[in-house]
Amino acid sequence: MKFFADTSDINEIKDLKEYGLLDGVTTNPSIIAKSGKEFIPLIKEICEITDGPVSAEVAATDYKTMRKEADVLRNIADNIAIKVPLTQDGLKVCKELSDEGTLVNVTLCFSSGQALLAAKAGAAFISPFIGRLDDICFQGLDLIADILIIYDNYPEYDTEVLVASIRNPMHIIESAKMGAHVMTAPPKVIKQLYNHPLTDKGLAAFVADWEKTGQSIL
Ligand code: E4P
């Protein structure tokens, strides 16, 4: 499973990279607004640090303006993935950019029918938002299962399922069990995967017992 960082925080991105946990980055207008930084220079910096795809989202919602914005964004770096919303106009932009060889991440997906349309438009990634579905009492993970079944039925679709809106480590584990290609999560959630109380307890016992030996390896 590829791990994307759902953040624009440069220090967090560099940190994940050092631990081998950075296969890409996703951003959205809310994440950029929270950073308080200039959008284009920030994305450029993230692209320089990140070896994999970096999703930068268009701000407009109409076809013409989205297309113009996408052309600006894809010139930032070779590893840009243009993020477009799952609307009719968004998928029109997706089709054009994909035909031209640009990676497109279709965002705000909440149904398997929408995911089918994104695959037909040639999207490199479909981003189903599972946490937001959970928030309104729908099983977000069920959507991942459905999309994977549909995509598996049609090997000609190259679209990767990018599980988004992840809120906890179980979202990552369950998505991985189903074989989702990619997940994007806040770095804090990714790091929760390290934690287990028995690891902490076991390590404390090993450290204490080693001290009793009075030995040193170095
Ligand atoms: C990723 O591409 C999405 O923008 C992100 O995962 C949304 O997460 P949220 O529902 O926590 O805002």
Check if 131 has its Cβ closer than 6 Å to any atom of ligand 1: yes
- Nearest CA residue ID for atom 1, ligand 1: 164
Q: What predicted TM-score, i.e. pTM, was given to this entire model? A: 0.97
**Which of 3, 4, 6, 30 gets mutated to test ligand 1 (max ligand atoms within 8 A of its CB)?**
6
Q: Which of 3, 129, 134, 183 to mutate to test the pocket of ligand 1 (most atoms within 8 A of CB)?
A: 129
The residue to mutate among 184, 188, 190, having the most atoms of ligand 1 within 8 angstroms of its beta carbon, is: 184
How confident is residue 3, by pLDDT bands cut at 50, 70 and 90?
very high
Residue 100 Cα to chain centre, angstroms: 23
pLDDT on residue 111:
98
Q: How confident is the model at residue 117 (pLDDT cuts 50, 70, 90)?
A: very high
Ligand 1 centroid to Cα of residue 6, in Å, is 7
Does ligand 1 come within 6 angstroms of the Cβ of 181?
no
How confident is the model over 20-26, as a mean pLDDT?
Answer: 98
Nearest 10 degrees: CA dihedral of 113, 91, 56, 36? -80
Verify whether residue 83 is a known catalytic residue: yes
Q: How many residues does the chain have?
A: 218
- pLDDT band, residue 4 (cuts 50/70/90): very high
Q: What is the mean pLDDT of residues 162-180?
A: 98
pLDDT value of residue 203: 98
Residue 53 CA, ligand 1 centroid: distance in Å: 16
Q: What is the pLDDT of residues 31-49, one digit of tens each?
A: 999 999 999 999 999 999 9
Q: What is the chain's mean pLDDT, rounded?
A: 98
Per-residue pLDDT, 205:
98
What number is the average pLDDT over the span 67-84?
A: 98
Confidence class for position 185, pLDDT limits 50, 70, 90: very high
**For ligand 1, atom 8: residue with the closest CA:** 165
Exposure on the CB side of residue 124, measured as CA atoms within 13 A: 20
What's residue 135's pLDDT?
98
- Predicted local confidence at residue 57, as pLDDT: 98
Residue in 195, 191, 192, 185 with CA at minimum distance from that of residue 3: 185
Hey, whose CA ends up nearest to atom 11 of ligand 1? 165
CA distance 41 to 155: 38
The confidence score (pLDDT) of residue 71 equals 98
CATH superfamily for 2-213 is: Aldolase class I (3.20.20.70)
- The domains of the chain are located at 2-213
Residue 97 confidence (pLDDT): 98
Q: Which atom of ligand 1 sits closest to the CA of residue 105?
A: 2
Reported confidence tier of residue 65, pLDDT bands at 50, 70, 90: very high
DSSP secondary structure string for all residues of 134-158:
HHTTS-HHHHHHHHHHHHHH-TT--
Confidence of residue 217 (pLDDT cuts 50, 70, 90): very high
| Confidence grade of residue 173 (pLDDT, cut at 50, 70, 90) | very high
